Amino acid sequence: MAFYHTFLLLLLGVTPGCSLKPQWPLQRLPVVLPQEIKDGPAPHFLSKARLNVTSSCGPECHKQAPVPSYWDLRHFLSYETLHANGHLTETAVGIYGFNQVTLQPQGTSAATHTRTKRQIFGHDSRFSIVGKDFLLNYPFSAAVKLSTGCSGTLVGDRHVLTAAHCVHDGKNYVKGAQRLRVGFLKPYQRESSSAATNSTSSSPKNDKMKFQWIRAKRTHVPKGWIKGNANDIGMDYDYALLELKKAHQRRHLKLGVSPGAKQLPGRRVQFSGFDNDRSGRLVYRFCKAGEETYDLLYQHCDAQPGASGSGVYVRMWDRRRRRWERKVIGVFSGHQWVDRNGTHQDFNVAVRVTPLKFAQICYWIKGNYVDCREG
């Protein structure tokens, strides 16, 4: 009962045991602008989408990695754009107004106990969201499914944030990336309209779920992912942005710069996605954030393959607008298997929206930097 009460409080945006308003931090954001666009080589669509990522580089490894130089960052944030007609372009970027000192490793939060080779940690704390009253309401309505098997989150009128590995394996684009579709889950009745008219009432048990699909027009993937091939620095850039061919009619989540784990309300994160073991259902979960690096957030939210690409979000107070704002602060990458002293250990990893990533993704969405000065 206590767990269910906590769930209801989180749905309402209330952090249990927290009397002060957790506030979005105010900071000056950098600018990431395209400098040169050129045609890329013909893309190859060779591999199946991986619903999990693997890496031998765990939290300690990431904390000890060399701080990237300005030129490294320019390369990592340069990007490829796959167009619906199969054409590929490569864009080099410039970075302005960024302080290299902020790239120093952050202090870590308390270390979490490690679970081995598991995707559900103890009691399965996920909630299947059913019924039109919840499913089609914000923020659950902002969750979408990719035709490659992953999840995504609406972050604009026609933009979807997801994981890079859902469309690109680090070397090649996955099968289906050129004809990528985004599915919007909606309920419908099994009975025909005439049968429904004759029925005195409709039972929720008769509700079936189906998707309305919209094709992707463009897919942006950062070079940091393509260079890394899902290991070492690559995992830091496991995100991609899809532009749809037409606008959707749903409310989207805002993009936000990821605060430190200690600043999060209740130190909790939450996200919704389409886990493979619950076909046709939207699955919601929340948990406490654990260790963190500058680019990654480690946690033990229960999840299964298919949830990768979900937008990790929190709700905090916006002191400028004087209201509560939900913002996506990361992208759920998946289960990271790490070899520590000869034993395999499992982490759930989210890619944090850093100031530079915010500036890049926001430019992809807005098409200008003027509207990307507040995260």
Percentage of the chain modeled with pLDDT above 70: 72
Active-site entry in 47, 72, 75, 232: 232
The residue ranges of every structural domain in the chain are 31-189+206-372
Query: Which band of pLDDT confidence, cut at 50, 70 and 90, is reported for residue 203?
Result: very low
Which tens digit of pLDDT belongs to each residue from 207-220?
Answer: 566 889 999 999 99
Contacting residues for 249 by C-beta, under 8 A, at least 6 apart: none
Query: From the CB of residue 66, how many other CB atoms can be counted at a distance below 10 Å?
Result: 7
Considering only residues 109 and 179, tell me which one the structure prediction assigns the higher pLDDT. 179
Highest mean pLDDT among 8-12, 248-252, 365-369: 365-369
Residue 308 known to be catalytic: yes
Query: Which band of pLDDT confidence, cut at 50, 70 and 90, is reported for residue 67?
Result: confident
Class assignment of domain 31-189+206-372? mainly beta
Active-site entry in 151, 308, 310, 333: 308
Query: Does residue 290 surpass a pLDDT of 60?
Result: yes
Residue 201 known to be catalytic: no
**Helix-, strand-, coil-residue percentages of the chain, each rounded to 5:** 20, 35, 45
Query: Does residue 247 surpass a pLDDT of 90?
Result: yes
Considering only residues 136 and 152, tell me which one the structure prediction assigns the higher pLDDT. 152
Considering only residues 248 and 53, tell me which one the structure prediction assigns the higher pLDDT. 248
Query: Does residue 7 surpass a pLDDT of 70?
Result: no
Considering only residues 21 and 42, tell me which one the structure prediction assigns the higher pLDDT. 42
Which tens digit of pLDDT belongs to each residue from 101-115?
Answer: 666 544 444 333 333
- 211/255 Cα distance (integer angstroms): 25
Query: Which band of pLDDT confidence, cut at 50, 70 and 90, is reported for residue 96?
Result: very high
- 108/260 Cα distance (integer angstroms): 9
Output the pLDDT for position 338: 62
**Mean of pLDDT values over 43-63:** 73
Considering only residues 356 and 25, tell me which one the structure prediction assigns the higher pLDDT. 356
Residue 83 known to be catalytic: no
Query: From the CB of residue 132, how many other CB atoms can be counted at a distance below 10 Å?
Result: 12
CA distances in angstroms from 176 to 15, 40, 114, 180, 212, listed in the order given: 40, 19, 36, 6, 17
Output the pLDDT for position 116: 33
Lowest mean pLDDT across 12-16, 207-211, 235-239, 356-360: 12-16
Query: Which band of pLDDT confidence, cut at 50, 70 and 90, is reported for residue 246?
Result: very high
Percentage of the chain modeled with pLDDT above 90: 38
User: Model's pTM, two decimal places?
Assistant: 0.83
Which tens digit of pLDDT belongs to each residue from 318-330?
Answer: 888 888 899 999 9
Output the pLDDT for position 282: 86
Output the pLDDT for position 364: 97
Going by DSSP bridges, is the β-strand pair 254-255/323-340 parallel, antiparallel, or unpaired? parallel
Query: Which band of pLDDT confidence, cut at 50, 70 and 90, is reported for residue 133?
Result: low
Beta-bridge mates of residue 146: 182
Active-site entry in 165, 168, 300, 335: 165
194 burial level (CB within 10 Å; 0-12, 13-18, 19+): exposed
| 220 neighbors 79 (Cβ within 8 angstroms) | yes
